[in-house]
Chains A and B, each alone.
Chain A
Amino acid sequence: MDPPSYAEAACTALGDAMAQDGRIVVLGEDVGRGGIFGQYRGLQARFGSDRVIDTPISEATIMGAGVGMALAGLKPVVEMRVVDFALCAMDEIANQAAKNRFMFGGQGRVPLVARLPMGIWSASAAQHSQSLEAWFAHLPGVVVVAPATAQDNHDLLLAALDCGDPVIYLEHKELWSQRDAAPPGPPLRLGQARVCRPGSDLTLVSWSRQLHWAAEAAQTLAERGVQAELIDLATIWPWDRDTVLNSAARTGRLLVTHEAVQAAGFGAEIVATAAEHTGCKVKRAGAPRIPVGYAPTLEEVSRVRPAAIVAAALELLR
């Protein structure tokens, strides 16, 4: 039997968690039909429309209601369809979910998992293609997760449901149908990175869909005699500094590549921290600061392909 896809793995995790914990509810647009990517398939039939709640197209209230549910004792999973739509709910994310526990002096908590499918996918153009993990990483109070494999999407979704904090959970739209060719390794905890491939010449950090291109780049580099240590960050905040900094200190070179716009991207935070703590040489490979275009020729400009990662690595090694 095929291993589960990235969407199926998350669906299994959520179904198992809902079966065990009656406080978990799902709300969002089209979740009763399984979600637009099939990531909720079968859950409404199994748990009923009171727990898998089809909502109006009201992003602010989908997220705000999630906050209210959490304050009243539930553990909501809030579906936003695509991360771009979560921008209609930014007050509810940034001012309410992220801050309520602190500003009320710990009287309430917001154990909420907001699923925000991200990334370039299928000519979706400027408003359905963004990678905004850095926006959320900048917000005190939230956890930010971006799994790259089906197994991690299973394990990290369970961890997110279990952590008691508001979690910004970013699944990449290009990955929904992907199945792991081989198990990526032991289950990850939140805040734990994975060394996917050991190496001694440079450290290569990535996450989400971009990790797979980074892996291709690492393979190409190896064929040229360069051993890159590839790290899947998986959790953007709190990110696994020990794993990244230890590797960077050993290799002396750190390249971070992400699909998001490079300027003020999360790669900047990682390389700045590594430079401060290890003095290593650093480089970033992110997208140009342009909206993602519709035509293939335009969309391509926003992609950071393996060849570009290889070129950046070779530059860093010069």
Chain B
Amino acid sequence: MHAPSLRDRLAALLRTMLRIRAFEDAAELASQGGVAAFGQTAGSGAAVRGPLHLSTGQEAVAAGVCHGLRREDLLTSTHRGHGHTLAKGADTRRMMAELYGRAAGSNGGKGGSMHIADFSVGMLGANGVVAAGLPIAVGAAQALKLQRKDAIVACFFGDGAINRGPFLEALNWAAAYALPVLFVCEDNRWSAMTATGPLTAGAGAAARAQALGIEALTADGNDVEAVNDAATEAIAAVRAGRGPRLLHSVTYRIKGHVSVDPATYRDAGEVAHAREDDPIERAARRFVELGGSAAELAAMRAGADEEIATAVRFAEAAAWPEAAAAYTDVQSTGAGRWF
């Protein structure tokens, strides 16, 4: 690969990362005072209410992996899933409207941040239950295989998920049936408000995958090019029918577990170091090294900010769902029998 194409790739990756960051920042701002946590009751004034799990600082994993996927590929995600959804190609206006709980949201206001989904781009849903996406991902992959489709499934989960049973079950399952799944352990080092490391035996996600005979790759989760390189290699193997792969990328959750969590339980030095290693700033420096200009960078930042500002205006102007929508899409058999 020669320099211009490397630069073009990085520009595309950086644009996605900037859009995710702008989305998360706007969502965080809109949630101030609106999220119940730590014994505090939510205020009613905030636009975004309910648990809001931000992926600020983790953008390189979402961007690096999803840029290797096709539109028809499927994706399962976690409660911290805005970045994956956006990077898979979802419309940021409908995403923001969903966080606002509006009828124009991607889920019609029925799911919010934790259940954000966009089936039109193969995004089969974020999940409020840790590790719950893994079994769904392997089932979707089994369906693709049975339907003789060329598509694959990318399955994002966090470091906390590897300590739940469905992680073992789903990896074993994917290997046993040689399914087209890319498992992505987006390791932000925190299981909610507890450090994952001391509570996790052995050498982590990659070692556990290897124990099941699944080839595992690791890539620096704050280096978007490294993530994209590894993901591209893994996706090619998965798409070629060589069975599942696992990618382990260590990154860092710059914000708390939820948007109102000040995360004072963390060592200040750890957070400061993570901010210095911000994947977006790293990518920006690299972009300049590759010959990109400050003006191009500024234009990318402005473009991302403008898109997300538009998304916020769209969400603010959108209507609430009608109360009657609470009764739709529950079930068809017996619809109308609610008591």
Contacts and interface: CB of A to CB of B under 8 A. Distances in A.
B334 A191 contact: yes
B132 interface: yes
Contacts of B44: none
A187 interface: no
A106 B328 contact: yes
Interface in A57-77: 58, 60-61, 63-74, 76
Interface stretch (A31-39, A93-101, A196-204, A205-213): A93-101
B243 interface: no
A282 to B, nearest CB: 17
B169 to A, nearest CB: 4
Interface string A44-88: 000000110101101011011111111111101000000000000
B65 interface: no
Interface band, chain B: 35 or more
Interface string A85-126: 000000110011000111111111000000000000000000
Interface stretch (B112-120, B252-260, B280-288, B292-300): B112-120
Contacts, number: 156
B135 A56 contact: no
Interface in B85-132: 105-111, 115, 117-120, 124-125, 127-129, 132
A163 interface: yes
Contacts of A73: 143, 147
Contacts of B169: 56, 58, 60-61
Nearest to A111: B332
B146 A107 contact: no
Contact of A69 (B118, B120, B140, B166): B140
Contacts of A70: 139
A67 B135 CA distance: 8
Nearest to B139: A68
Given A68-B142, A141-B331, A61 B135 contact: yes
A72 B337 contact: no
Contact of A165 (B106, B115, B332): B332
B137 A96 contact: no
Given A50-B146, A68-B138, A69-B142, A104 B119 contact: yes
Interface residues of A, number: 49
B93 to A, nearest CB: 15
A76 B109 CA distance: 28
A11 interface: no
Interface string B166-184: 1001101100110000000
Nearest to A68: B139
A241 B337 CA distance: 10
A249 B194 CA distance: 59
A25 interface: yes
Given A64-B166, A71-B136, A72-B144, 16 more contacts: A58-B169, A61-B170, A64-B136, A68-B138, A70-B139, A95-B128, A100-B125, A101-B331, A105-B106, A105-B107, A105-B110, A106-B329, A140-B330, A191-B334, A238-B334, A238-B337
Interface of B: 74, 76, 105-111, 115, 117-120, 124-125, 127-129, 132, 134-144, 146-147, 165-166, 169-170, 172-173, 176-177, 328-334, 337
